């Protein structure tokens, strides 16, 4: 039944200056598509009233049931392209004194809108090809004048079990997902003012590792001079904010002796990014939802053990 509205996948962004709450939305799960899907929305924080909406991909309706063979009856007529905004909008101050609200989308496009002009588009920049699991997935980060955007662009093959040597999908026990080891990945630095690319560092590559994907779908984390980005290959990498060079690369896919005595193994890094607090970096390792490597460990790192 529809219209079913659009999902909100991420935390809202609060604007104390304008007393607004901003959210980004995903696609519709059923027909008919609505004008508030794949959009940045502004709500009055005091009344809850919708103040404005800026849609970037119209007529997008899709749901996960569509991956099941013979599931046409469960699919909206549009069948995608499934270009959700999966991460929160970032509210920033620009060098010219104005402000911008920046959202990154699974279409592979980053959009900056003016929160003081009812979401008028300031600039748009394509950083990825885009796909149902591609483009920009779970979150970007910004410092004083730069936006850091990791690209997922995961490519999947959906196969019936019996022909694939892989575990069943959590969504459907009759199919499995196989990752493409050549598609996806990379980290981009963009100027907040214009969207101009400052630098781009491609993924180093899977180098023939079985089950590896170069996709970098996890949210990125920025601290002074360094940006952290985790990947489906299980690596957590630190990039220099100056030129994008990789200054630290850790493969988290290993066995660990845990502090609570539970047998643990690292895997793909997806979803939430690393958290840096009190001189320690924390990261979850292990996400096996779409053919990637499962795991069950929370890791903590510090500089030289301090």
Domain-located, residue 304: no
Each residue of 181-238: pLDDT tens digit?
778 899 999 999 999 999 999 999 988 887 788 999 999 999 999 999 999 999 999 9
Range of the domain at 31: 13-250
Domain assignment of residue 98, yes or no:
yes
Question: Rounded distance, CA 258 to CA 280, Å?
Answer: 17
Backbone angles phi, psi at 246, to 5 degrees: -80, 115
C-alpha radius of gyration, the chain, whole number: 20
DSSP annotation of 88 reads: -
The Cα 19–Cα 114 span in angstroms is 15
Helices (H), 116-170: none
* Backbone region of residue 144 per phi and psi (left: phi > 0; alpha: psi in -120 to 50; beta: other values): alpha
Q: How far apart are CA 211 and CA 218, in angstroms?
A: 18
**Predicted local distance difference test score (pLDDT) of residue 79:** 78
Query: What is the DSSP secondary structure assignment for residue 194, as one 8-state letter?
Result: T
Task: Classify residue 272: in a domain, yes or no.
Answer: no
Residue 195, domain member (yes or no): yes
Alpha carbon of 133 to those of 173, 216, 271: distances in Å? 20, 11, 12
Question: For the chain, what is the total number of helices (H) and then of strands (E)?
Answer: 0, 23
Q: What is the CATH number of the domain that holds 45?
A: 2.140.10.10
What band does 161 get if pLDDT is binned at 50, 70 and 90?
low
| Tens-place pLDDT, residues 120-150 | 999 999 999 998 888 999 999 999 899 999 9
Q: Which two tokens stand for residue 26?
A: 């995903």
Helix, coil or strand: residue 83 = coil
Q: Is residue 287 part of a domain?
A: no
Q: What is the domain count for the chain?
A: 1
């Amino acid at each position: 039944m529809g219209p079913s509205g659009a999902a909100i996948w991420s935390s809202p962004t609060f604007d104390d200056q304008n007393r607004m709450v901003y959210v980004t939305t995903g696609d519709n799960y059923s027909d008919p598509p609505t004008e508030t899907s794949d959009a940045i929305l502004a709500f009055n924080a005091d009344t809850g009233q919708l103040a404005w909406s800026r849609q970037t991909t119209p007529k997008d309706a899709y749901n996960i049931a569509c991956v099941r063979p013979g599931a046409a009856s469960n699919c909206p007529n549009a069948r995608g392209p499934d270009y959700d905004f999966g991460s929160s909008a970032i509210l920033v101050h620009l060098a010219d004194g104005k402000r911008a609200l920046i959202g990154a989308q699974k279409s592979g496009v980053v959009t900056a809108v003016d929160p003081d002009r009812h979401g008028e588009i300031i600039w748009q920049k394509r950083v990825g090809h885009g796909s149902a699991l591609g483009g920009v997935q779970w979150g970007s980060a910004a410092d004083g004048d730069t936006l850091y955007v990791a690209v997922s662009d995961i490519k999947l093959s959906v196969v019936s079990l019996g022909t694939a040597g892989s575990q069943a999908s959590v969504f459907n026990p009759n199919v499995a997902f196989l990752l493409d080891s050549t598609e996806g990945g990379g980290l981009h630095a963009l100027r907040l003012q214009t969207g101009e690319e400052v630098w781009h560092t491609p993924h180093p590559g899977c180098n023939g590792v079985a089950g590896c994907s170069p996709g970098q779908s996890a949210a990125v984390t920025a601290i002074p001079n360094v940006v952290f980005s985790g990947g489906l290959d299980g690596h957590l990498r630190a990039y220099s904010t100056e030129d994008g060079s990789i200054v630290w690369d850790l493969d988290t896919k290993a066995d660990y002796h845990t502090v609570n005595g539970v047998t643990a193994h690292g895997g793909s890094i997806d979803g939430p990014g690393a958290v840096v607090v009190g001189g320690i970096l924390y990261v979850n390792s292990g996400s096996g939802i779409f053919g990637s490597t499962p795991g069950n460990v929370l890791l903590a790192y510090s500089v030289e053990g301090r």
